[in-house]
Amino acid sequence: MTLPPFHPFSLDYTANPKPYFAEFHRSGRLAFLPEMNAVAVHGYEAVRAFCDHPQMSRNPADAGLVDPEQDAIRMARWPTLEGQMRRTVAGDQQGLARMREMLAPDFKPAMIRKMATTVKEVVERICAPLAVERDVDMVTLVQTVPLVVISKLLGIDEATADAEMFLRAAPAYFRGINPLADEDCRDQAEVAANQMFAVLARTVEQRKRDPQTDMVTQVLEIAAGMGDVTTDDVVRALVILVAAGTDTTRLTTSLAVKTLLTHPAEFEALRRNRDDVKNAVMELLRFESPTKFLVRIAVEDVVWEGQTIPRGTIVLLSIMGAGWDPRVFPAPERFDVQRDLKGSLNFGFGSGYCLGVHLARLQVGTLVHYLLDHLPSTATIDEAGMRWDSRNLFLREITALPVHVR
Ligand code: HEM
């Protein structure tokens, strides 16, 4: 069968990129996309090298890709969205390093273990319909779990209007971060971003006046020791956290359901061997990653195995492609919860490695345990009802996964 041509935004590639991976791994080819001034990279060694490469930046301005006139227009129309993005996700290395310094202690394994009860309580409350309903859309069911977990960890009081505003604004903000979002979507995201920043700023100010034993208070203590850190800097660090940790976790869970229900024997085996759940979380992430591409910009010409990536090229790193590279993960099409996953790039590599890795593994593990308790392996996916939003560059955005539970 001939594959439709590769394109990052095609439904074929978004929903089932595995045949494309096989082709790229066989040929060793980098996939150049001249119309996007981009190249997509799928081999394990190249993805790992480019994650944290001296000639690759996360900031388009570093490669002269930002048109100052267009940039000024965008800044005027979406000051919060553009301004915050510039100073965070695509920010300078120093800013990112400071952000990591501020947040890292809260994400150490010992701190995360303390969060286990909170995470379990949220999962059990939100996923309760799975134990009783006949038909459930898994995407809808799990979508609020990570956001509720993170807002609890940040200490946003659940019973307040701020919590309600935060939970409503955050998804609209995330939709606007997608570079392909249309102008209406970005207008809505600008409003949402302002609301989100305001809620977080109020939480930060409140903790300054009345310190607690929570995450925001600890971040403030670290920030105080770092010198000239403003409330704005702290709020931006918290926004990165929310943006990085919410959609990835929610998509991982929906994709995990898809994998488990299409591998009923492995699902049953996992039910009998709960000790395998930890490794299964990593295998689920390898098998169906929520990440479509990590994005870098080549700031110099970079040569890889005889192929030149010219300066200024947008470099799209496929984490999932790397996880399907048979030279590193033999027989990648086998879903094996006991697979040796040392060297996995599920959570990135190098200086940008995921800060929330332990929280992510805790949340997904808790959700998998809940599925093992309440989702029969006889449940079936309504394939015709599955939906994807393929125009997301960063994430494999599954938007509907209807499951007939019982
Ligand atoms: C299953 C869920 C998750 C996956 C698959 C995931 C994956 C990743 C990956 C691949 C990166 C590297 C990005 C790059 O190099 O460009 C990353 C970075 C990051 N992640 Fe996660 N992540 C998850 C959950 C979380 C959670 C729950 C949090 C925190 C609440 C979080 C916080 C972060 C932060 C702050 C960074 C940026 C680090 C930096 O730029 O220095 N992530 N994540």
Query: pLDDT per residue over 162-220, tens digit each?
Result: 999 999 999 899 888 877 788 999 999 999 999 999 999 999 999 999 998 888 988 89
* Nearest by Cα to 137 from 382, 390, 388: 382
Please give the single-letter amino acid code of residue 203: T
Q: Quick one: average pLDDT of 360-368?
A: 96
% of residues, the chain, pLDDT over 70 = 97
Ligand 1 atom closest to the CA of 359, numbered from 1: 27
Q: 61 CB under 6 A from ligand 1? A: no
Biggest distance spanned by C-alpha atoms of the chain: 65
Beta strand pairing call for 307-309 and 302-304: antiparallel
Best of 89, 200, 248 to mutate for ligand 1, by most ligand atoms within 8 A of CB? 248
Q: What is the pLDDT of residue 87?
A: 55
Q: What is the mean pLDDT of the chain?
A: 91
CA-nearest residue, atom 17 of ligand 1: 354
Q: Which protein residue's CA is at the shortest distance from atom 6 of ligand 1? A: 347
Is 91 a pocket residue for ligand 1 (Cβ < 6 Å)? Answer: no
Token pair, residue 202, equals 């109020």
56 touches ligand 1 (CB under 6 Å)? no
Residue 90: pLDDT band with limits 50, 70, 90? very low
Place 324 in a pLDDT band, splitting at 50, 70 and 90: very high
Lookup: tokens for 308: 């030149």
SS3 325: coil
Mean pLDDT, range 306-317, rounded to an integer: 95
Residue having the nearest C-alpha atom to atom 2 of ligand 1: 249
Cβ neighbours of residue 224 closer than 8 Å, sequence gap 6 or more: none
Cα 329 to Cα 361: distance, rounded to the nearest angstrom: 20
Tens of pLDDT, residues 28-80: 999 999 999 999 999 999 999 999 999 998 877 776 777 888 888 888 898 88
| pLDDT of 1 | 67
Domains of the chain, first to last: 11-404 (1.10.630.10)
Measured between alpha carbons, how far is 301 from 313 in angstroms, rounded to an integer?
9
| Whole-angstrom distance, CA of residue 18 vs CA of residue 37 | 24
What value does the mean pLDDT take over residues 258-281?
96
Kindly report which listed range (82-86, 177-181, 340-344) carries the lowest average pLDDT score. Answer: 82-86
The closest of 247, 293, 278, 237 to 368, measured between CA atoms, is 278
Cα(272) to ligand 1 centroid in Å equals: 31
Q: What is the pLDDT of residue 89?
A: 47
| Average pLDDT, integer, range 107-122 | 88
Q: In the prediction, which pLDDT does 69 show?
A: 86
Distance, CA of 126 to CA of 144 (rounded, Å): 8
- Among the residue ranges 13-17, 181-185, 253-257, the one predicted with the least confidence is 181-185
C-beta of 359 in contact with ligand 1 (< 6 A): yes
Q: Give percent above pLDDT 90 in the chain.
A: 70
DSSP state of 40: E
Please tell me the predicted confidence (pLDDT) of residue 52: 93
> Which residues lie below 8 Å from residue 316, measured CB to CB, with a gap of 6+?
8, 38, 39, 40, 41, 293, 294, 295, 393
Mean pLDDT of 254-274: 96
Report the distance separating Cα 371 and Cα 378, nearest Å: 13
Establish whether residue 323 lines the binding site of ligand 1, counting it when its CB lies within 6 angstroms of any ligand atom: no
User: Does any ligand 1 atom lie closer than 6 A to the CB of residue 111?
Assistant: no
Query: For position 121, what pLDDT does the model report?
Result: 95
